[in-house]
Chain A
Amino acid sequence: MLAIYKRELKSYFYSMIGCVFIAVLLGFAGIYFLAYNLNGGYPYFSYTLSGTLIVLLIAIPVLTMRSFAEERRSKTDQLLLTAPVSLTKVVLGKYFAMVTVLAIPNLIFCLYPLIIKMQGTAYLMVDYMSIFTFFLLGCVFIAIGMFISAMTESQIIASISTFGVLLVLYLWSGILTLFPSTAIGSLIGLIIVLTIVVFYIFHMTDNWLISAVIEVAGIAACVVTYFVKSSLFENLLTKWFSKLAVTDVFSGIASNSIVDVSGIIFYLSLIVLFVFLTVQMIQKRRWS
């Protein structure tokens, strides 16, 4: 694992992607910092970070796009997969290398609150907490990007689809208002979600029997519950989906100074989930 971690990290700096990533993040954070904190005199660095979040949406796909797509295209994955190293370690090695690249600008961010402090009042606790959450959010994004990169051979496809997914996550709270709040609307929405999940299960297992059973059982359960107690379904979709608003945890800290511990646990579980899915995706490819 250490070997892969070191090689990946080095290659990010040989290929300039790492340097460009750090430079872009620091550059934009610098502009926001100048505008909001230095010229505007606003004492919270966390506000600057919320502005920088949009840059992260563009920068993360560039960082993650090559992680597995490039290996597969140039067939170097043959070296990794035939070496006496478990697949999980290969994935973790790569993941931690990308996290390290992300950690560098975040460490530099830690200096900014101190600059504010030199000029007057600063809210160090809030600022450092939001830098930490910003970093964790970046780690979630990297895990998602890595998973998407493992699905394709093309870096371009990987980066564009990662950007698409991240943008949807970023705009999630806005999209949420478009969902129906009536009971019947929620029911239909739920069935659609179920069908998508079943399609994914079918795609991963190639077992139509299991997929069909899950689909039928799921629909039956939903419909029966709906007829027994339809009030349960009111606002259900919005309620459930609002949990997916990944960036809300960060903005909660950044704009309202509310630290949501369950949100941080949510981030960590998302990271574990996507690292796991990446391993599964690569495993699956060996059998198809």
Chain B
Amino acid sequence: MIEVKNLVKKYGNHIAVDHLNFTIEEGKIYGFLGPNGAGKSTTMNIMTGYLGATEGEVLINGHNILKDPEEAKKCIGYLPEIPPLYTDMTVLEYLDFAAELKKIKKKEREEAVEQVVKLAKLYDVQERLIKNLSKGYRQRVGLAQAILGFPEIIILDEPTVGLDPKQIIEIRELIRTLAKNHTVILSSHILAEVQEVCDYVMIISKGKLVASDTPVNLEQLMAGSETVEITTRATQTEVRDILRPVANVEKITTQVNKDNTTGAVIEVKNHADIRESVFMAFAEKKKPLLLLKNTKVSLEDVFLELTQNDAEAEKLETDELEAEESDAVKQEMEEGENEDAGNL
């Protein structure tokens, strides 16, 4: 459906998109994930024909976006990062204009506009000037424009930015409905959104595609380092002694919590489930376990791992030297990072 081959975009010396290759198939929801400035918007702008690529080509249904732009653009509905709205028009006038621009036949135009007004829930504001609308409504007008005429491919650049939680849920539902008979590509830096909505995730970092797979597969990709987290009343040395005979333990990091309990993170070898043996080991020594749980790698960890690899690699190397003496400090640091990721 869409083929992106060896795409490069340079701004002077800065490489925004670096030899990007991917194929997009029909009827799925694709998510572009990446930190700010990763090249998501640039890629989308090139795919829709707004920008020219320095190298490489984009084929939409076999039509080259540069050589055969009109045919290629007919298949695409695009909502850019900032909705392209003429603020001196009313919502209806604007959608009428967009419909004519997209070469929807005069007879079908009114119905097409009515349909998207209904889908984007714009009925209450359809007679108002766009300049008087709130950010959320403007976003929805932009979305209505993108899905107008129901093109085969719908490309949405951060579609839920500026919407309230209720609207976000509505838009996500709308995207899911659309995906039944359209291909949807959306970009986001909100992980939860991508995880929830998309069938397929492409993680972009510094203009490169660093991973592309289903959310489930991406999580499994990282599952090599499963961990078990425990909290107990035993002291740190006691914990290490108790755990020594347990099989499949790779590494233990412990720390003393504020309420005088000991927390430990046990890294597991060979994908084994060691929860039972851990429980039994502590039970034998009559040391109560306050908490015992498997921690799974989330998409957030995958994202952080993949996008921050380069920047963090150097930092971690120096950190490790210092942190080897006090594992507890490092443990805290990592937790801090995870919290940051949660707030993304």
Interface residues of A (CB under 8 A from B): 2-4, 6-7, 10-11, 14-15, 74-86, 286-288
The 3 closest A-B pairs by CB, nearest first: A3-B100, A79-B84, A287-B52
| Cβ–Cβ contact B101 & A4, under 8 A | yes
Interface string of B121-154 (1 = CB under 8 A from A): 0000000000000000000000001000000000
Residue A83 contacts which of B45, B86, B101 (CB distance < 8 angstroms)?
B101
Residues of A contacting B89 with CB < 8 Å? Answer: 7, 10-11, 14
Main secondary structure of the interface of A (DSSP, over half): helix
| Cβ–Cβ contact A78 & B97, under 8 A | no
Residue A79 contacts which of B74, B98, B103 (CB distance < 8 angstroms)?
B98
| Cβ–Cβ contact A77 & B100, under 8 A | no
Nearest B-chain residue to A81, judged by Cβ = B50
| Cβ–Cβ contact B101 & A86, under 8 A | no
A-B contact pairs, 13 of them (CB 8 A): A3-B100, A75-B84, A76-B85, A77-B50, A78-B78, A79-B145, A82-B73, A84-B73, A84-B101, A84-B102, A85-B70, A286-B51, A286-B52
Residues of A contacting B103 with CB < 8 Å? Answer: 84-85
B290 at the binding interface (Cβ < 8 Å): no
B263 at the binding interface (Cβ < 8 Å): no
Nearest B-chain residue to A85, judged by Cβ = B101
B76 at the binding interface (Cβ < 8 Å): yes
| Cβ–Cβ contact A81 & B49, under 8 A | yes
Q: In angstroms, how far is the closest chain B Cβ from the Cβ of A40?
A: 43
Nearest A-chain residue to B129, judged by Cβ = A14
| Cβ–Cβ contact B88 & A82, under 8 A | no
- How far is B99's CA from A7's CA once the two chains are assembled, in angstroms? 12
Residues of A contacting B102 with CB < 8 Å? Answer: 83-84
Among A11, A83, A85, A288, chain B packs the most CB atoms within 10 A around the CB of A83
Interface string of B207-230 (1 = CB under 8 A from A): 000000000000000000000000
Residues of A contacting B11 with CB < 8 Å? Answer: 288
- How far is B41's CA from A202's CA once the two chains are assembled, in angstroms? 29
B255 at the binding interface (Cβ < 8 Å): no
How many positions in chain B have a CB within 8 Å of any CB in the partner chain? Answer: 30
Residue A86 contacts which of B50, B69, B80, B98 (CB distance < 8 angstroms)?
B69
Residues of A contacting B101 with CB < 8 Å? Answer: 3-4, 79-80, 83-85
| Cβ–Cβ contact B80 & A78, under 8 A | yes
| Cβ–Cβ contact A82 & B51, under 8 A | no
B48 at the binding interface (Cβ < 8 Å): yes
B169 at the binding interface (Cβ < 8 Å): no
B341 at the binding interface (Cβ < 8 Å): no
B247 at the binding interface (Cβ < 8 Å): no
**8 A Cβ contacts from B84-119 to A:** 84-89, 97-98, 100-103
| Cβ–Cβ contact B70 & A84, under 8 A | yes
| Cβ–Cβ contact A75 & B88, under 8 A | no
| Cβ–Cβ contact B70 & A11, under 8 A | no
* A76-B84 contact, Cβ under 8 Å, with A2-B100, A3-B100, A82-B48: yes
| Cβ–Cβ contact B88 & A78, under 8 A | no
Nearest A-chain residue to B76, judged by Cβ = A82
| Cβ–Cβ contact A3 & B49, under 8 A | no
| Cβ–Cβ contact A78 & B100, under 8 A | no
Q: In angstroms, how far is the closest chain B Cβ from the Cβ of A47?
A: 39
| Cβ–Cβ contact A83 & B52, under 8 A | no
Residue B97 contacts which of A7, A75, A81, A86 (CB distance < 8 angstroms)?
A7
| Cβ–Cβ contact B74 & A84, under 8 A | yes
Residues of B contacting A2 with CB < 8 Å? Answer: 100
- How far is B80's CA from A140's CA once the two chains are assembled, in angstroms? 35
Residues of A contacting B76 with CB < 8 Å? Answer: 82
Residues of A contacting B85 with CB < 8 Å? Answer: 74, 76
B192 at the binding interface (Cβ < 8 Å): no
Nearest B-chain residue to A70, judged by Cβ = B86
Q: In angstroms, how far is the closest chain B Cβ from the Cβ of A276?
A: 18
Residues of A contacting B73 with CB < 8 Å? Answer: 82-84
Q: Given A11-B89, A78-B50, 13 other A-B contacts at CB below 8 A?
A: A4-B101, A11-B86, A14-B89, A15-B88, A74-B85, A75-B80, A77-B84, A82-B50, A83-B102, A84-B69, A84-B71, A287-B54, A288-B11
| Cβ–Cβ contact B82 & A75, under 8 A | yes
- How far is B80's CA from A83's CA once the two chains are assembled, in angstroms? 12
Nearest A-chain residue to B100, judged by Cβ = A3
- How far is B52's CA from A286's CA once the two chains are assembled, in angstroms? 5
Residues of A contacting B71 with CB < 8 Å? Answer: 84
